[in-house]
Amino acid sequence: MTAGELLNKIMSNVIEGREDKNAPFPEEKVGEPGVKELTQQAVKQGMDVNEIINKGLLPGMKVVGEKFETGEYFLPDLLIAAKSLQAGMEVLKPLIVKSKVKPLGKAAIGTVKGDMHDMGKTLVKLMFEGAGFEVIDLGIDVPREKFINVVKEEEVQLLGMSSLLTTTMLEMGAVIDCLKEEGLRGKVKVMVGGAPVTEEFAEKIGADGYAIDAVRAVARAKELLAMK
């Protein structure tokens, strides 16, 4: 396959969410190379890591995001596409480290204390990784100290907090207050999200940004960090 054909195949397999050759959908394609095998082949053919990412993997994710916005794709489609993108990135990881390709930015994300919901947070994480961010996933039920420590110790530029319960969303404000007390507020952009959260609430508690879904979260984060 030519480089161009290979990149197109990588892109279309991300769009279809075909992680590897065993992907169960679409049924007619089971057994055909998926993102993992195609990325391995691209590496074998000596293609540039940046090219594979920027002309194969990420464009595929962009199309997926667009289809999601129009309602053609549902959340499961988004998630499986993000997983297949990750599979490609896993193949490239050792080469990325070697070639010192820098991530677009570094972020940490978690669901606040008392809250066990993780689907939305995981989706945001995957979309951010798909956009080229390095993301530290703090998990669920995250105590305030853990949020503070990751800002202190990991040089993250963006802190994301999620809550799906009306009773736990107030924790977000508490974390922002803690950041202020520790003199860390200026070091990081804070974004919040989750079903009960609104733009007004985000403003009220002093967050920098809010987005209604994972796709828009990426766009908003790039705005906040003055990225293209």
Partner 1 sequence: MTRKYFKFLSDEEMQKIHESSLRILENVGMLVDHERARQMLHDGGAKVDFKSKRVKFTPDLVTKCLQRVPRTVIYGGRTPENDMVLKTGGELYARGNSGQTSYVDLETGEYRGGKLEDVKQFAILMDALPNINGVGPLHPGDVPTTTADIHSLRALLENQRKHINNQAFGVKNLKYELEMIVAVQGSREEVKKRPLFHNIVCVVSPLYVSEEDVDMLMLAGEYGIPSGFADMINVAATGPATLAGTLALGNAEMLGAACLNNILCPGKPQTYFLEPGVTDMSTGALMLGTPENVILCSALAQLANTLYQLPVETAAMASDWTITEEAVLQKGMNGLMAAYHGASFIFGCGSIDTFMAQSPVQLVIDDEIVGMIRRVIRGLEVDEDRLGLAAVQRVGPQGTFITDPHTRKYMRGEYFQPKLFNRDPRTVWLSKGSKNLEQRAREKALRILQEHKVEPLDSHVLKELDLLAKKADQELAK
Residue ranges in contact with partner 1 by CB under 8 A: 68, 71, 74-76, 116, 119-120, 123, 166-167, 170, 195-196, 212-213
32 or 213: whose CB is closer to partner 1? 213
Q: H-helix or E-strand containing 207? A: none
Residue 137, both tokens: 């996933």
Give the nearer residue to partner 1 in terms of CB position, either 117 or 189.
117
Token digits for 9? 């195949």
- The nearer residue to partner 1, 152 or 216, going by C-beta atoms, is 216
CB of 97 to partner 1, least distance (A): 33
**Residue 29: CB minimum distance to partner 1, A:** 22
Torsions phi, psi for 109 (to 5 deg)? -140, 145
| Helix, strand, coil percent content, the chain, rounded in steps of 5 | 55, 15, 30
Closest contact distance (angstroms) between CB of 74 and partner 1 is 4
Residue 206 CA to residue 103 CA, distance in Å, equals: 27
Closest distance of CB 63 from partner 1, Å: 17
Cβ-based nearer residue to partner 1, 52 or 175: 175
Distance CA 83, CA 79 (A): 6
* Cα separation values, 2 from 45, 50, 145, Å: 9, 17, 51
Tell me if 76 sits within 8 A of 16, measured CB to CB.
Answer: no
Cβ proximity to partner 1: between 134 and 213 the closer is: 213
Count CB atoms within 10 A of the CB of residue 89: 19
What is the smallest separation between the CB atom of 175 and partner 1, expressed in angstroms?
13
